[in-house]
Amino acid sequence: MDYSSSWVDTSLDLNINPRQRIGVKKDFVTNFMDLGNKQEVQSSGALLEELKRVSAENKKLTEMLTVMCENYNALKTQLVDYMNKNRDKEPSPSRKRKSESSNTNTNNNTIPMTGNSESSSTDEESCKKPREEVIKAKISRVYVKSEPSDTTLVVKDGYQWRKYGQKVTRDNPSPRAYFKCSFAPACPVKKKVQRSIEDQSVLVATYEGEHNHPHPSQMETTSGGSRSLTLGSVPCSASLGSSGPTITLDLTKSKSNIDATNSKPRTETPQVRQFLVEQMASSLTKDPTFTAALAAAISGRMLQQNHTEKW
DNA sequence: CGCTTTTGACCCGCGC
DNA sequence: GCGCGGGTCAAAAGCG
C-alpha cells in the first residue's frame, strides 16, 4: 500500500536536467568571470561556497519531500480505512442501475492508485441521492491515453477481459464497450471503456468491483527488466490541470504489477528514478503557488547573496 | 473445435 | 402506463 516513500528514493539528486543545471552554473561562471580574472582565486572559493549552499538546499528539499511523502502516506492510510469502513456497510450487489450517469467525466480526475476506489460522488450528489444508492460496489475510473486512430476500446491493464456488449450512449458519440473479467463468474469485476467526450485520445475505463484473484501478470513476470515506469506499482504520469491534480495511468505499458498489496521495494533503474523526479519537478513547476514561492525564495536568496557579496 | 467478439434483442429502472 | 436509455444476454460470426 505504501508506494512513494516506501521505495521512491526521496534523496533527490536535483541535477536531473544536466542542460538546465549547466545553464545555471554557466551563469554563475559567467558572472564571476565578468568580475575579472584577477578574482579567479576568490571565484573558485565562492563557487565552493555556492556548491555547499546548493548541497544544503538540496538536502533541505529532500527533507521536505520526505515529509510530503509521509503526509501523503498518512492521508492515504486514512482514506483506505475510511473506504474499508464504508465497504463493510455495503449491501450485497444488486442489478440496480448504477448512479454513475450522474457522474460526468468532467469532475473525475480521481485515479485509484491501487486500482480500487470509491465512486467519486460529490457531496452535492450524495445529498440528492438516497444513501443506499451512493454506497455501491467499488467503482474506479482510469484515464488511459491511446492513439486516436485506435478504434479498439482495449485498455491493457494486465487482467484478461471478455467483451460482452457494446453500446452507443446518448451523451457520447463514441461507443461504450462492456467487459467482464475472464474469471467471471468467480470474479465479479466489470469494466466499461469509452472514449472521453472531451479528448478523443483518452480512453475512460470504469472498473466496478474488485478482483478476487491474483493479477495474472504476477505469475508470469519476474523475467526481464522493467521498461515501464511504475509509481508504486502503477505506471502513471502526474500533472496539475485546471481542475486539480491529475494522474494519468498509462496502462498500455503492461506487464506492470497493478496489485499493490504485495508490492515490494524494487530495484528501480536510474532512468526510472530520473523520470520520477522529472515528473515530480514538472508537477511542482506547474503549480502556480509553488512557482511563486520558489521565485520568492530564489529572489530572496539572490538579494541576500548580493548583499553579502557586496560586503 | 473451442474461445472470443459482434450485435440485435431484451430487460429494467427512471422520468414524465 | 409508456417511452427512453443504459446494461446484459445470447446466437451468430470470426479466429487461431
**Residues A57-80: tens digit of each pLDDT:** 877 777 777 667 566 666 666 665
CA–CA separation, A168 and A177 (whole Å): 9
- Do A172 and A203 form a contact (C-beta atoms < 8 A)? no
| Whole-number distance in Å between A219 CA and C7 C1' | 33
| Whole-number distance in Å between A19 CA and B12 C1' | 62
Between A133 and A44, name the one with better pLDDT. Answer: A44
| Whole-number distance in Å between A176 CA and C3 C1' | 22
Q: Which nucleotide is nearest to A165 (CA to C1')?
A: C8
Q: Which nucleotide is nearest to A180 (CA to C1')?
A: C8
| Whole-number distance in Å between A212 CA and B15 C1' | 37
CA–CA separation, A145 and A204 (whole Å): 9
Per-residue pLDDT at A295: 52
CA–CA separation, A292 and A202 (whole Å): 31
| Whole-number distance in Å between A310 CA and C10 C1' | 85
List residue ranges whose Cβ is under 7 angstroms from nucleic strand C.
A 95, 97-98, 100-101, 164-165, 167, 169-171, 176, 178, 190, 192
* Nucleic acid strand C: bases within 7 A of protein CB: 4-10
Q: What confidence tens digit (pLDDT) does each residue in A172-189 have?
A: 888 888 888 877 677 778
Between A88 and A151, name the one with better pLDDT. Answer: A151
| Whole-number distance in Å between A141 CA and B15 C1' | 27
Q: What confidence tens digit (pLDDT) does each residue in A160-172 have?
A: 888 888 888 888 8
* Long-range CB contact pairs, A275-284, < 8 A, 24+: A275/A229, A276/A8, A276/A229, A276/A231, A277/A12, A277/A13, A277/A14, A277/A16, A278/A16, A278/A17, A279/A231, A279/A237, A279/A238, A280/A65, A280/A238, A281/A16, A282/A239, A283/A238, A283/A239, A283/A240, A283/A245
Q: Is the pLDDT of residue A139 over 70?
A: yes
Q: Is the pLDDT of residue A251 over 80?
A: no
Q: Which nucleotide is nearest to A100 (CA to C1')?
A: C6
Asked if A160 CB < 7 A from strand B, the reply is yes
Q: What confidence tens digit (pLDDT) does each residue in A199-227 have?
A: 777 888 888 877 777 666 554 443 333 33
| Residue A85 DSSP SS3 | helix
